[in-house]
Structures are given as C-alpha cells and as structure tokens.
Amino acid sequence: MGKIIGIFISDGGVPKSSVTSIAVGIDGLQGDQQNNKKYHGGKDKAVCVLDYNVLLKLQGEGHPIGPGTTGENLLISGFDLHIGSIFCVGNIELEVTSAAVPCKTIANSFTNGDFSKLSNKKYPGQTRWYCKVICPGVISVSG
C-alpha cells in the first residue's frame, strides 16, 4: 500500500516548502505556484510526484537532492508509477499524464549540476511524474 512521505508547495521555484496537509483541487495543491506556466502546472500537470526510492537512490549516489528540492509536490512510496497509471493518495485520485522533463532550475540537487539524472528518457522510471487530479480532496503526510 502506498503512502505520502512529504507534501511540498511554493510561491514559485525550488525548493518547495513542506506542509503536513493540504487541499488538492483540479488545478493542483492549494497555494502552490509555478514560475513558468508554459512548462509547469495546468490540468494535465496539476501535481508533480517523485517516488521516495528514486530520491534515496540519487542520495546514495552522492547527490545533494532532498525532499522538495526538485519541485515535486508529493514525495510518495509504494506506487507503480508510469504514464496512464491511476492511483489514490489519501482521499485524492491521480492519473500520471507524463514524465516531467528536468531543467536547470533543479541543478543544485545534483553533483556537478547534472539534472539529467531525473530524465525518464535517459534513466527510465527515474523521474518526477506529472499527474492530473481525477478526484480532489484533502491529503496529509502518512503517519
């Protein structure tokens, strides 16, 4: 069974700050903003998720990545994430719509600024995922 390890929002940019619970609507997490709406946000990219095991793997390789530093809204564990997968976190339902293409904004999370470490094309499955919200609600970090 999957769980929420962390929830993160910001006024735009990274790192995102941790919150313990939040309302999630069709447009994403309440109070979360994106600086570049051409590439981030919108109904099909309302929530950005990162698998906790990916974060741990990258930390194990020596990268300074941490929770919220790559712009993810949710750090989760125990879900099978791929394009088209539908899953529930708390009482919200999400559908994975695409892999999030990494960019220089998250370079500080990687040794030598190598943000391509989160590239689904280069490392299949080692990415952040964009999701649309199928069923909105309120979520909290798992206990």
Residue 16 tokens, joined: 């995102």
What lies within 8 Å, CB to CB, of 75 at 6+ separation is: 4, 5, 6, 7, 8, 49, 50, 52, 55, 67, 68
Cis peptide before 15 (omega within 30 of 0): yes
pLDDT band at 13 (very low <50, low <70, confident <90, very high): confident
pLDDT band at 34 (very low <50, low <70, confident <90, very high): confident
Mean pLDDT of the chain: 94
| Predicted local distance difference test score (pLDDT) of residue 113 | 97
Which domains, and CATH codes, for the chain? 3-140 (2.40.33.20)
| Predicted local distance difference test score (pLDDT) of residue 35 | 63
Each residue of 52-99: pLDDT tens digit? 999 999 999 999 999 999 999 999 999 999 999 999 998 999 999 999
Examine the pLDDT at 122 and tell me if it is beyond 70: yes
**pTM (global) more than 0.75:** yes
Examine the pLDDT at 125 and tell me if it is beyond 90: yes
| Predicted local distance difference test score (pLDDT) of residue 84 | 98
